Structure 1
């Protein structure tokens, strides 16, 4: 059984699919489907919900995950904490290691991720040092607990803006497909996922870039600031996408399963 824990990164935000729970697909669904193709009978649960901080993942996802007795667990946690003003990075990483220790103690193979240096805005550049500390600690913790490390920080392919959704913080469909391939590579599972073969991007003039920047501010930055002021998040009213283990169909994958649920 594969159980995925975390926030929007693991929920699949940016990889839109209205046929699936919460309207997204994501890299973890794709990994589960490839596991089932390679070895029928794989079960899968995804407890991740967008906007969750590390403390929420510990409180809401840890015990349900351990109770499922998984053989494979993925964890990405702490990215939202890094974006919060006033986060104590040393305290955050101590709590992160406690979480990793508990998951490792379950006997499951554990997959951990570093974070990518997303070039969103110069406003966020001061967070680069915090992110670098996070990544180095994750590498050290992964080594201590013999976890599989997906060093997301090092993926040059993600420098292509087409790997990112319009909010510039979440991967696009192409980004999620690419990451699924990298996770499968680390697990030694064969797959046919390949990087996109795009034509050269059309160059945008100064006026076009200014329009894009203004649209991004209106569509993403201002709403995000408004939510922070109100103390709400996009995940407040959402449930996990796959809260209980499901057997992943070898043919048709999770879309086939979701279609059956809707029909029922």
Structure 2
């Protein structure tokens, strides 16, 4: 595959804080967070003027919430590349049964796979060296094996966090030991791109800064985004009567990676 070339034009990321980008603050990014998914989208957009990216992930969401709230909207966005990470909060904080979680996950992945998009699923990382989270290591390992079965059933791709031994380096983690640092997010992004067999410009242990844009380029991008994405989004929100917890995706609509893609 030639550098910069790949078959995807619209990428949608689903999940919780891991995919939202907690631990990787960036004031110039939508929601003030960057994260591995943004970094992947940045590389995928190189040489692809029409490439669009949406991130529907919301911090704290459990598996059933991700499936209920994000799968439907993701399908409506008609992506050809979807990443989904879900179940970590269930295992770490709710002592959920990894086998039951896998059954739920299978149904959600089936809906996503029916779109014909490339689906990327994540195994959970190995928290074995962490005093408290290490207690869930067995459940995470079982869930990971179930994820592999789900991926095989639906021809999905596995992004293997468990096998990513670089994550044992303390520098990869935010001080809370729950979320990845900027370096960790960068390392995950490299793994995802390598898993997809996409040539990229990311170097190990050297997080790539967010490119600066000229004032003119920024204004043009903002105007186009507002007309095509912001106003329709606002109208939908004003007419939406369902109550929610006030938390929304940072990139609810597909848009240019380096444009403002958040209300």
TM-score range, shorter chain: 0.7 to 0.9
Q: Secondary structure at the match of 2:151?
A: helix
The answer as to whether partners of 2:31 and 2:262 remain within 8 angstroms in 1 is no
Q: TM-score, normalised by structure 1?
A: 0.78
Structure 1 residues 120, 170: CA separation in 2 closer, same or farther (over 3 Å shift)?
Answer: farther
The 1-side partners of 2:116 and 2:98 are apart by 28
The 1-side partners of 2:182 and 2:173 are apart by 8
Structure 2 residue runs without a partner (length 5+)? 1-9, 208-243
Question: What's 1:80 paired with?
Answer: 89
The 2-side partners of 1:135 and 1:261 are apart by 32
Q: 1:191-223 deviations in whole A, cap 9, x for unaligned?
A: 11111169xxxxxxxxxxxxxxxxxxxxxxxxx
Q: TM-score, normalised by structure 2?
A: 0.78
The 1-side partners of 2:128 and 2:62 are apart by 21
The 2-side partners of 1:75 and 1:147 are apart by 10
The 2-side partners of 1:178 and 1:18 are apart by 20
Q: Secondary structure at the match of 2:84?
A: strand
Q: Note if 1:158 corresponds to 2:167.
A: yes
Question: What's 2:42 paired with?
Answer: 33
The 1-side partners of 2:108 and 2:94 are apart by 22
Q: Note if 1:22 corresponds to 2:31.
A: yes
Correspondent of 1:131 among 126, 140, 144 = 140
The 2-side partners of 1:39 and 1:163 are apart by 30
The alpha-carbon deviation at position 261 of structure 1 amounts to: 7.7
Q: 1:101-143 deviations in whole A, cap 9, x for unaligned?
A: 1111111000111010125643333311110111111112112
Question: What's 2:253 paired with?
Answer: 244
* Within-5 A mapping of 1:63-212: 63-119=72-128, 121-196=130-205
- The one of the two structures with greater contact order (alpha-carbon pairs below 8 A, sep at least 6) is 1
Structure 1 residue runs without a partner (length 5+)? 199-234, 249-253
The 1-side partners of 2:173 and 2:47 are apart by 29
Q: 1:145-187 deviations in whole A, cap 9, x for unaligned?
A: 1111111100111110001111111111011111111111111
The answer as to whether partners of 2:13 and 2:84 remain within 8 angstroms in 1 is yes
Question: What's 2:13 paired with?
Answer: 4
The answer as to whether partners of 1:120 and 1:168 remain within 8 angstroms in 2 is no
Runs (4+) off by over 2 Å:
118-126, 235-238
The alpha-carbon deviation at position 246 of structure 1 amounts to: 0.6
Q: 1:43-69 deviations in whole A, cap 9, x for unaligned?
A: 110000111001111111011000111
The alpha-carbon deviation at position 238 of structure 1 amounts to: 2.4
The answer as to whether partners of 1:118 and 1:169 remain within 8 angstroms in 2 is no
Question: What's 1:231 paired with?
Answer: none
**Quick check: which one's helix share is greater?**
1
* Within-5 A mapping of 1:219-258: 236-248=245-257, 254=258, 257-258=259-260
The count of residues paired between Structure 1 and Structure 2 equals 218
The answer as to whether partners of 2:183 and 2:206 remain within 8 angstroms in 1 is no
The 1-side partners of 2:245 and 2:183 are apart by 27
Question: What's 1:57 paired with?
Answer: 66
